[in-house]
Structure formats: structure tokens, C-alpha cells
Amino acid sequence: MHMISRTTWEQVQLAASVGDLKDDHYQLLLNVSAMMELLVEKGVLSREEIRRKAASLDHNADAGAADAYLRFTTSHSVDLS
């Protein structure tokens, strides 16, 4: 009987995990989309308000990532002189 190597089995498990993440991502996106549609339909929020908030959150996330990168590179700098 042929034995599957550990590395091959780990790759199979990794592929299965990625598949699970894709399913989870789809379900999350579906639920968020449904909630957004309901909020717009009920007049609680407009599509423009949602768009502006998403843009603001995206901008803040980008700024936070840039700040973290700068802190890391500053604290781990190497003197090349």
C-alpha cells in the first residue's frame, strides 16, 4: 500500500482549509450584503452613506498599516555604513 508523505498530506489539509475559508468568506459577504440591502430598503441608511463609511474605514486601515510598517522598519533598522 502506498503511503502519503507528511508534506503531501499537509498540502491536502491546507487546500481543504483554503476551501473552508472561501465558503466562510462567501457566507459572510452574503450576510453583510443582505443587511446592507435591508438597511437601504428600510431607509435607515443610504447607499452613499454606506459607500462613504466603507471608504473611510478603508482609508483608516491603510493608514494604520502604513504606520505599523514605519514603526517596524524604524525599530528594526540596520546600519549599513
- In tens, the pLDDT along 11-37 reads 888 888 888 889 999 999 999 999 999
Domain-embedded: residue 3: no
Per residue in 40-72, pLDDT (tens digit) is 999 999 999 999 999 998 888 888 877 777 777
Q: What residues make up the domain containing 21?
A: 16-45
Does one domain contain both 52 and 72? yes
Domain assignment present for residue 1? The answer is no
Instruction: Measure the CA–CA gap between 41 and 21, rounded to whole angstroms.
Output: 30
CB 45 within 8 A of CB 39: yes
Ordered DSSP codes for 10-72: HHHHHHHHHHHHHHHHHHHHHHHHHHHHHHHHTTSS-HHHHHHHHHHHHHHHHHHHHHHHHHH
pTM: 0.58
Within the chain, what is the greatest distance between any pair of CA atoms? Answer: 64
Reported confidence tier of residue 2, pLDDT bands at 50, 70, 90: low
